Amino acid sequence: MDSKERLEILKEILLTEEREFDKDLVLKIEKLKSRQDNLSDRVTPILDERMDDFVENMPKALGPVITETLKTEIKKSQEAVAEALYPVMGKMIKKYVQAEIKKLNEDINKRLNKTFSFRNWFSGKDNNIDAAALMYEQYKARIEQIMIIEKGSGLLKANYAKRPTLDEDMLAGMLTAIKSFVEDAYNQGEMELERIDYELFTIHLQNFSNYYIAVVITGIYDDDYKDKLEDVLLDFAQFVVNKSDLENPETFTKKLKSYFTDERI
């Protein structure tokens, strides 16, 4: 079986077994396209192009990663292959879609060169909740966790998580190790790591002199969001944090919680 055939099978798996996940999205986009007629004169070509790209490039992008798995699994039934790949695929596709929507959003913004954004677009016209608004809601950036971590020691000084996470002390230490590893590797004096992408999460790192703030985010983290987030974090550091807070994790954590519980961003 050559690689082309394998890709065909992959395509089939992706476009049949994965439909479960995708169906919704595609439906929403279809619906969106048919509804937003006047706007769609401008937008549809871009959207079409993107969707075509998406369908065309997906096997290409994912191909190498799964060729190995396919080699051993391919002899079994297609169903078994799909099952083996499903968890990996689900995440990759979700991430891919997310990345594509982000690009699309930025692309549209650029072309219309205005304050045009998905948010405006979706909420324009009638204010009924439609498929598009739901889609926006689905992929909107959300803060999952905020950690304030002492530089050097990597000790956690304050933590606010929406749900319980794996051990946050170890997470803080590992983040610090990764951060210093990368910074050492580039060894460019002032360079500091600002962001880590991990599976479906983006970890935004805001550096201060004795500590840094790590914000774990799901959804679309674009420049617009990054800007806003930075402002909020800088304000927090400037107006809320005192020197003594680092010595007292308990009160620091309380401060952090009360500052961010009202969905400030």
Partner 1 sequence: MSVSKKVVLLGHFGVGKSSLLRRFVENTFSESYTVTIGVHIMKKEVHLEKESVTLVIWDVEGTDDFTKYRPSYLMGASSFIYVFDASRPVTYSDIKYNLEHLKEKFPHVSVHIIGNKVDLVDSEVILNDLKAQDIQHSYLSSAKTGENVELLFQNVAAQLLENA
Site string for partner 1, 77-116 (x = CB under 8 A): ----------------------------------------
- The single-letter DSSP state of residue 133 is H
Q: How far is the CB of 154 from partner 1 (least distance, A)?
A: 7
**In 3-state terms, what secondary structure has residue 143?**
strand
| Closest by CA position to 162, among listed 146, 174, 175, 149 | 146
Binding status of residue 156 toward partner 1 by CB under 8 A: yes
Shortest gap between Cβ of 9 and partner 1 (angstroms)? 36
DSSP for 24-78 reads: HHHHHHHHHHHH-HHHHHHHHHHHHHHHHHHHHHHHHHHHHHHHHHHHHHTTS-H
By beta-carbon proximity to partner 1, the closer residue of 49 and 167 is 167
| Minimal distance, residue 153 CB to partner 1, in Å | 3
- Does the protein bind partner 1 through residue 231 (CB under 8 A)? no
How far apart CA 183 and CA 185 sit, in angstroms, is: 5
Q: Is 234 in the site for partner 1 (CB under 8 A)?
A: no
Shortest approach of partner 1 to residue 169 CB, angstroms?
Answer: 5
Instruction: State the Cα–Cα distance between residues 152 and 213, nearest whole angstrom.
Output: 13
Decide: is 27 part of the binding site for partner 1 (CB under 8 A): no
Write the binding mask 173 to 192 for partner 1: x where contact by CB under 8 A, - elsewhere.
xx--x--xx-xx--------
| Strand ranges across the sheet with 195-198 | 156-161, 142-150, 211-218, 201-207, 195-198
Residue among 162, 92, 101, 94 at smallest CA distance from 136: 101
Residue closer to partner 1 (CB basis): 84 or 161: 161
Q: Does 250 bind partner 1 (CB under 8 A)?
A: yes
Q: Which of 46, 94, 142, 249 binds partner 1 (CB under 8 A)?
A: 249
Using CB under 8 A, list all residues that contact partner 1.
Answer: 150-156, 167, 169-170, 173-174, 177, 180-181, 183-184, 249-250, 253
